[in-house]
Chains A and B, each alone.
Chain A
Amino acid sequence: MKPKFGVVIFPGSNCDYDAYYVLKKIYNYEVNFLWHKETDLKNVDVVILPGGFSYGDYLRSGSIARFSPIMNSVIDFANKGGHVLGICNGFQILLEAGLLPGVLLKNNSLQFVSKDVYLTVENNNTVFTKENKNNEVLKVPIAHGEGNYFTDEDTLKSLIDNNQIVFKYCSPVGKVEEGFNPNGSLKNIAGIINKDGNVLGMMPHPERASDPVLGKTDGKLIFDSIGKYIFN
Chain B
Amino acid sequence: MVFFGIFFTGFPEKIDRTRISNFNLSGDILYKAKVLIKRRPSILDPQGKAVEKGAQHLGLNNIKDTRIGKFIEFTVDTADKNSAEKEVKEYCAKLLANPIMEDFEFTLEEMK
A-side residues, CB < 8 A to B, are: 58-60, 63-64, 67, 96, 102-103, 105-110, 150-152, 184
- Judge whether B47 and A59 touch: CB under 8 Å: no
Interface size band for B: 10 to 19
Contact A110/B46 with A103-B98, A103-B101 known, Cβ cut-off 8 Å: yes
Instruction: Give the chain B neighbours of A64 by CB distance below 8 A.
Output: 95
- Judge whether B98 and A60 touch: CB under 8 Å: yes
- Judge whether B44 and A108 touch: CB under 8 Å: yes
A-B contact pairs, 14 of them (CB 8 A): A58-B2, A59-B2, A59-B96, A63-B95, A96-B98, A102-B100, A103-B100, A106-B46, A106-B47, A109-B46, A150-B100, A150-B101, A152-B100, A184-B46
- Judge whether B95 and A67 touch: CB under 8 Å: yes
Which 10 pairs of residues, A with B, have the shortest CB-CB distance? A103-B100, A103-B101, A110-B46, A110-B50, A108-B46, A60-B98, A106-B46, A103-B98, A106-B47, A63-B95
Instruction: Give the chain B neighbours of A58 by CB distance below 8 A.
Output: 2
* Minimum C-beta distance from B51 to chain A (A): 10
Interface majority SS (helix, strand, loop, mixed), chain B: mixed
* Minimum C-beta distance from A58 to chain B (A): 8
Considering the chains assembled together, what is the distance between the CA atoms of A96 and B98 in angstroms? 8
